[in-house]
Amino acid sequence: MTSKKEISISKPTLLQILLKIPENIGTPISLIIHTVIFIVFLSAPKVFGIPADSVNIFFTTLLSLEAIYLAIFIQMSINQNNIEIQELQEDVEEIQEDVEEIAEDLDEINENVDEIQEDIEEDTAEDEKIVILAMDNKKQISINNRELAELKVQFTKILDELEKLNKKI
């Protein structure tokens, strides 16, 4: 008696073999094998002396069985292809979901980039204002320094005149 492990191991192997049979039908090797079988059965009455009616009945039965099995193998292939197509459809749906998520992430990234760009523009505008204010302050300091220098010169003149007046008195 076989154990459950042996059955479960042999089933996938048997299934794999059965699924490979349709792959080999229609190959050059399959054509050669069928041609040899046809030649053997068609020449059997003459070569082996077997009655032609018996060969024809056996050959017709064999061809009918082969047609039945071919139909079964074709249906198995169709079923297997349907399963694979369903799996591919699921994969495509998952990929579409992933693409949608990536698109959402890209939208968020674009929004972040826009916000960063706005911040940079604001910072640049503030920096430009600061530079303009600094330049204005520098100009004002220069003007104030010149005015102070002029006032100093005038103050010095006034002091000189006061000293002259004090000497006269």
Mean per-residue pLDDT over the chain, rounded: 87
Instruction: Encode burial over 84-117: b for 16+ CB neighbours within 10 A, e otherwise.
Output: eeeeeeeeeeeeeeeeeeeeeeeeeeeeeeeeee
pTM comes to 0.50
Give the phi and the psi of residue 3 in degrees, each rounded to 5: -85, 170
Domain ranges of the chain: 4-168
Q: Quick one: average pLDDT of 70-78?
A: 88
Q: Quick one: average pLDDT of 4-26?
A: 68
How far are the Cα atoms of 27, 92, 104 from residue 97, in angstroms, in the given order? 40, 9, 10
pLDDT at 8 over 60: no
CA–CA separation, 80 and 21 (whole Å): 13
Q: Which residue has the tokens 């050059």?
A: 28
pLDDT band at 2 (very low <50, low <70, confident <90, very high): very low
CA–CA separation, 51 and 49 (whole Å): 6
pLDDT at 165 over 90: no
Angle between the N-to-C axes of helices 4-24 and 52-168, in degrees from 0 to 180, rounded to the nearest 10: 100
pLDDT band at 73 (very low <50, low <70, confident <90, very high): confident
Largest CA distance in the chain: 170
The per-residue pLDDT for range 33-51, each reduced to its tens digit, is: 999 999 998 898 888 888 9
The per-residue pLDDT for range 81-115, each reduced to its tens digit, is: 999 999 999 999 999 999 999 999 999 999 999 99
CB atoms near residue 23 (< 10 Å): 10
pLDDT band at 12 (very low <50, low <70, confident <90, very high): low
Q: Quick one: average pLDDT of 148-161?
A: 90
pLDDT at 60 over 50: yes
Contact 35, 17 (CB under 8 A): no
CA–CA separation, 71 and 144 (whole Å): 106
